Amino acid sequence: MKQLLIATTNPGKLAEIKEFLSDMPIELMSLDDKNIIDRPEETGKTFEENAVLKAKFYADKSGLPTIADDGGFEIDALGGEPGVKSHRWIHGDREDEDEELIAYTMERLKGVPLQNRGAKLRVVIAFSTPGGKMHTAEASVCGIIPLTPSAARIAGYPYRSLLYLPRFNKFYNHDDLTPEENESINHRKKALEELKPFIRAALAKESPRDFC
């Protein structure tokens, strides 16, 4: 069976991507499965640049078709911050803790009225083959940041405790959303669905021919 590398160190993200690709006849591999510990320096100025950089790095490193993503939180009242700095917003030289990010966001929005607290989670997923073929897809989910964050926490996803979805009257938490609600809005799923035809085509081209 053909293999596809999911290049992420986030356990929650890995599980989510595996779920959304479970309908494909491929073996989904993690960085741990391939014993890859090297990490590229994320020097891109946009989500797309970082996603492409990571996908190419790990495809070259593993010799496998690879998907990698980059994304983050964009807050209207803060001019799109934190954006590409979503996980290094506070300290810069190291990744911020989930609780730090939640508290810092609420502090930055102190005094901002509810009608101006629009925000979105945006993701760009890149698919790269070892030969250098590259495709990207982007999706987002929009909502507001209420005056009080959710009491629920999802490790590795601090901004889901901040993003409230008015149409469902729920936070962006897959445990609270029904399967139908989550499927209809999940930004990572939407981007992966857009990439699936390219993944199928690339894997088909790499399959050996049968000779009779």
DSSP-assigned letters across all residues of 90-130: SSSSSPPPHHHHHHHHHHHTTT--GGG-EEEEEEEEEEE-T
User: Would you say the pTM of this structure is higher than 0.75?
Assistant: yes
Q: What is the pLDDT along the chain (212 residues), one digit of tens a residue?
A: 799 999 999 888 899 899 999 999 999 999 999 999 999 988 999 999 999 999 999 999 999 999 999 999 999 999 999 999 999 999 988 899 999 999 999 999 999 999 999 999 999 999 999 988 999 999 999 999 999 999 999 888 899 999 999 999 999 988 899 989 988 999 999 999 999 999 999 888 754 433 33
Q: Which residue has the tokens 């070892």?
A: 130
Angstrom distance (rounded) from CA 162 to CA 93 = 24
pLDDT tens, residue by residue, 98-137: 999 999 999 999 999 999 999 999 999 999 999 889 999 9
What local confidence, expressed as pLDDT, does residue 172 receive? Answer: 94
What local confidence, expressed as pLDDT, does residue 212 receive? Answer: 32
Instruction: Phi first, then psi: give them for residue 141, nearest 5 degrees.
Output: -130, 130
Just list the catalytic residues. 70
**Tokens in use for 179?**
């399967």
Query: Which listed CATH number (3.40.710.10, 3.40.50.1370, 3.90.950.10, 3.30.300.160) goes with 3-206?
Result: 3.90.950.10
Angstrom distance (rounded) from CA 173 to CA 17 = 16
CB atoms closer than 10 angstroms to residue 36: 16
Beta strand 66-75 with 118-128: parallel, antiparallel or unpaired? antiparallel
* Secondary structure (3-state) at 73: strand
Polymer length in residues for the chain: 212
